[in-house]
Amino acid sequence: MSAELRAPGVFPGDAIYIGGHFRKGGGEAVESLFPADGTLNTIVHCASQEDVTDALKAARAALADPAWCDLLPHRRAAWLSRIADAIDKNKEYLAWLQSRDTGKTLRETTILVGSAADTMRYYAAVAETAEEAITPSRGPYLTLSRFEPIGIIGAITPWNSPIASDVQKLAPALAAGNAVILKPSPWSPLTSLALAQIIDETGLPKGLVSVLPGGAEVGSRLVEDPEIGRIVFTGGTTVGRKIAEVAGKRLVPVSLELGGKSPTIIRPDADLDLALAGVLFGIFSSSGQSCIAGSRLFVHRSLYETFRERLVAATGKLVVGHPFSERTQVAPMVHVDHRAAVERWVARAKEEGGKVLIGGARPEGADYDDGYYYLPTIIESLTNEAVCCREEIFGPVLILLPYDDDETLIAQANDNRYGLACGIWSKDIIGALALGRRITAGTVWINTYKQFSASTPFGGEKDSGIGREKGLEGMRAYMVQKSYYIDTSQAPHPWARSHETD
């Protein structure tokens, strides 16, 4: 697509991207629908196994080309910087397209596009400045450790934040010198395809990036193919376990960023105004469709009734509406089937004895009839053992729980198979840090929530995943470490001398 046609109102063509070329995929045809009203965006023909074969061939050729494999790190950094500039240049279009793709508010998708550009720039800097090391040695040997690219990376990304998840994998992998085959979700493929168009126009060597929207067939091929040297996946824990099983049999490195049931904690000394705003943002932004959503709220019993009253009142004032409206705070869900799944979870909570304080239904009115809207929902009277307190709902549903003391709180917060994130609201920073050390989570926010930095590692524990993304180690994860020993003595090896004869 030419740059002049890339504007709101234009969708990427019905094509996948392989080896620097766009073509019709050989897989199933999928309708891309606008979650706000169910209207058709476009039809995408997904990739097939044959398409994966072609993408692998293109990646092999690109990695063997001296134009890439002999490129110095600061030259790779220049490519990433050009891609970042191109993302910025097309930010209005990418934000609009991601809102059409996922139903997220335009305000949020604009932030996500900016974050993607920043991530590209960060890894450009990392590629240019990362150092290798001469290591301590004994005797006449000079020893050093070098990092080299793995080769072909299989990257599988989810539907809820495509451009952020895509770039979070593409940027460090390219910075490390690899080729990437990216499989976005068939529920939200458009932003990934637009990103491919943008990358293509920067002139990046063909074959280094392929974008293959598809379902389980394509994903399984990427996970199982012996040419894939590393698998990176963001998505549900059930699929993540299957990927880990295959990766284990193949002895191939894997990074899994999976689900969460993150606890948010209101301590007795919390600033309630600050906590209220943070809790609302933590669970209801993105319509709760976020792995890090603060979906279990533990409130100290001394504050419980007061905070519950304020929380319910504030939730009732949230604006549920069209993603393009500047007033909207809670937009539609990504797909009609996903809304139905959230509705089943709320029904399950009621069966478990949960009391719906607010929400628990679709909004009423002509503006909502055709979209996949669901009201922000708060449920209390469940125990921490209830299924809805243990499983990821992935929607705008908050479970409200009182606690009496830190020991009980820590036990309940950690009594969950997930360990992705945690939020703590307290004026006592030292006490909050001490509490955070005892919570099993990859990220702990104190007096804030859902804040990120490309330089700060992100990932989870337990069923929330394996490995970390972002930061310097985020690039090293796409490399293999190789050690070299150089004998500076120019003398025969002692073993050889011991076998000399007169």
491 is a domain residue: no
478 is a domain residue: yes
Tell me, letter by letter, the H, E, C secondary structure of 129-153. Answer: HCCCEEECCCCCEEEEEEEEECCEE
Give me 323's structure tokens.
Answer: 């993603």
Q: Catalytic residue at 261?
A: no
Residue 387's domain spans which residues?
263-446
Map residue 252 onto helix, strand or coil.
coil
Distance between CA atoms of residues 400 and 101, nearest Å: 31
Q: Among residues 108, 380, 392, 469, which one is catalytic? A: 469
**pLDDT for 52-87, tens place per residue?**
999 999 999 999 999 999 999 999 999 999 999 999
Q: Catalytic residue at 227?
A: no
Q: 251 with 284, same domain?
A: no
Q: 242 with 364, same domain?
A: no
Q: How many residues does the chain have?
A: 502
Distance between CA atoms of residues 432 and 434, nearest Å: 5
Question: What is the DSSP code (8-state) at residue 329?
Answer: S
Report, in this order, helix, strand and coil percent for the chain, each rounded to 5.
Answer: 40, 20, 35
pLDDT at 501: 53
435-465 exposure pattern, b = at least 16 Cβ within 10 A, e = fewer: bbeebbbbbbbbbebbeeebeebbbbebbbb
CB 228 within 8 A of CB 116: no
- CATH assignment of the domain containing 367: 3.40.309.10
489 is a domain residue: no
Q: 57 with 180, same domain?
A: yes
Q: 169 with 88, same domain?
A: yes
Residues with pLDDT less than 50, the chain: 1-5, 502
pTM over 0.85: yes
Q: 333 with 355, same domain?
A: yes
Q: 106 with 70, same domain?
A: yes
Distance between CA atoms of residues 143 and 483, nearest Å: 7
Q: CB within 8 A of 252, min separation 6: which ones?
A: 228, 229, 230, 231
Distance of CA 200 to CAs 1, 47, 398, Å?
Answer: 10, 19, 42
pLDDT at 15: 83
Q: Among residues 46, 104, 108, 169, which one is catalytic? A: 169
pLDDT at 2: 40
CB 65 within 8 A of CB 205: yes
Q: 254 with 373, same domain?
A: no
Q: Catalytic residue at 364?
A: no
Q: 195 with 274, same domain?
A: no
**Of 192, 258, 276, nearest in space to 394 by CA:** 258
Q: Among residues 108, 257, 380, 392, which one is catalytic? A: 257
Distance between CA atoms of residues 357 and 380, nearest Å: 7
113 is a domain residue: yes
Q: 230 with 320, same domain?
A: no
Q: Catalytic residue at 257?
A: yes
pLDDT at 499: 60
Number of domains in the chain: 2
Tell me what the pLDDT averaged over the chain comes to.
Answer: 94
496 is a domain residue: no
pLDDT at 5: 45
Distance between CA atoms of residues 331 and 363, nearest Å: 11
**pLDDT for 175-232, tens place per residue?**
999 999 999 999 999 999 999 999 999 999 999 999 999 999 999 999 999 999 999 9
pLDDT at 141: 87
Q: CB within 8 A of 349, min separation 6: which ones?
A: 356, 379, 382, 386, 388, 397, 399
